[in-house]
Amino acid sequence: MITVFGGATSRSLRIVWLMEEMGVPYSIRNVDMLSADEDAEFLAANPAGYIPVLRDGDVTMVESIAIMEYLMARYGPTPLAPVASDPAFPPYQQFLHLGEAGLATLMMVPVVSGFLAPEAERDNWGGRQALLWVGNRLKLVDRQLATSPYMAGEAFTAADISMTYALEFGHRQGVVTLSEAQTAYLARTMARDGYRRALDTSMAVWDARAR
Ligand SMILES: N[C@@H](CCC(=O)N[C@@H](CS)C(=O)NCC(=O)O)C(=O)O
């Protein structure tokens, strides 16, 4: 059985959502990031101390996008990952990675500055610059949405799982103001049964632990 170490609304949601879409069975192992340094099983899986972590038999992996690529290659084929000969492949590959490397990673700087940095350092050059770059990169998302409903074209793919998390995270944390097209896009992707199941399951595991 595949185990995902994660949290309710963390990047583990990308992994859980993907497995819901693919029909791959899994279980979630909650990690409370506030006490992660006392969680020996989690630290043995990822000594760097961040989530998500995937455990699949002898395989242990970190990095949400790499984990998604592993799962689609290992348990596919799946229409969520267009093949290289498909015209949808280049935009798929680009937006799959832009969602984390170009957006969610950059958003972390202002987000964590906002609640972890000393008061005087909350508004800092690094955070402001990261947000400027995020705003520029979001122009690529809007350009894509001007011609197609999804990141890779007409069909929903794993690039949308990656991008939905980034946009929803930035919006929820108050560091991104969504455009009209981005808002309509999130309404489309987050209305999927797979997303609802992934969120409900992740929240239920979180609630059970908190009790
Ligand atoms: N690029 C990584 C980022 C992972 C990440 O930042 N995870 C957050 C929670 S969503 C975390 O655990 N942060 C704590 C840390 O980085 O120490 C991925 O996509 O998996």
Residue nearest to atom 11 of ligand 1 (CA): 50
> Which residue owns the Cα nearest ligand 1 atom 14?
50
Nearest-CA neighbor of 5 among 34, 35, 46, 38?
A: 46
Ligand 1, atom 3, lies closest to the CA of 63
Q: What is the pLDDT of residue 209?
A: 79
Q: Which residue carries 């799962």 as its tokens?
A: 71
Strand 59-62 to 53-56 pairing: antiparallel
Q: Which phi and psi angles does 31 have, rounded to 5°?
A: -120, 125
Q: What is the pLDDT of residues 8-54, one digit of tens each?
A: 899 999 999 999 999 999 999 999 999 999 999 999 999 999 999 99
Q: How much of the chain exceeds pLDDT 90, in percent?
A: 96
10 lines ligand 1 (CB under 6 A): yes
Q: Which domains does the chain have, with CATH numbers?
A: 2-80+194-210 (3.40.30.10), 89-192 (1.20.1050.10)
Determine the angle formed by the axes of helices 64-75 and 158-172, rounding to 10 degrees.
Answer: 150
Please tell me if the CB atom of residue 70 comes closer than 6 angstroms to any atom of ligand 1.
Answer: no
The radius of gyration computed from the CA coordinates of the chain, to the nearest angstrom, equals 17
**CA 125 – ligand 1 centroid, Å:** 22
pLDDT, tens digit (0-9, with 9 covering 90-100), for 136-168: 999 999 999 999 999 999 999 999 999 999 999
Say if strands 59-62 and 26-30 run parallel, antiparallel, or are unpaired: unpaired
Q: Which residues, 6+ apart, have CB-to-CB distance to 115 below 8 Å?
A: none
Cβ-contact 127, 113 below 8 angstroms: yes
* CA–CA distance, 64 with 72 (Å, rounded to integer): 12
Structural contact between residues 94 and 144, judged by C-beta atoms closer than 8 angstroms: no
Pocket test for ligand 1, best of 51, 62, 161, 168 (most atoms within 8 A of CB): 51
For residues 187 and 170, what is the distance between their CA atoms, to the nearest angstrom?
15
Total-model pTM: 0.97
Distance between CA atoms of residues 31 and 94, nearest Å: 30
Q: Is the pLDDT of residue 210 over 70?
A: no
E-strand stretches of 2-160: 2-6, 26-30, 53-56, 59-62
Name the average pLDDT for the chain. 97
Question: How many CB atoms within 10 Å of residue 89?
Answer: 16
Is any atom of ligand 1 closer than 6 Å to the C-beta of 182?
no
62-73 pLDDT, tens digit each: 999 999 999 999
- Going by C-alpha positions, the residue among 114, 110, 78, 91 that lies closest to residue 162 is 91
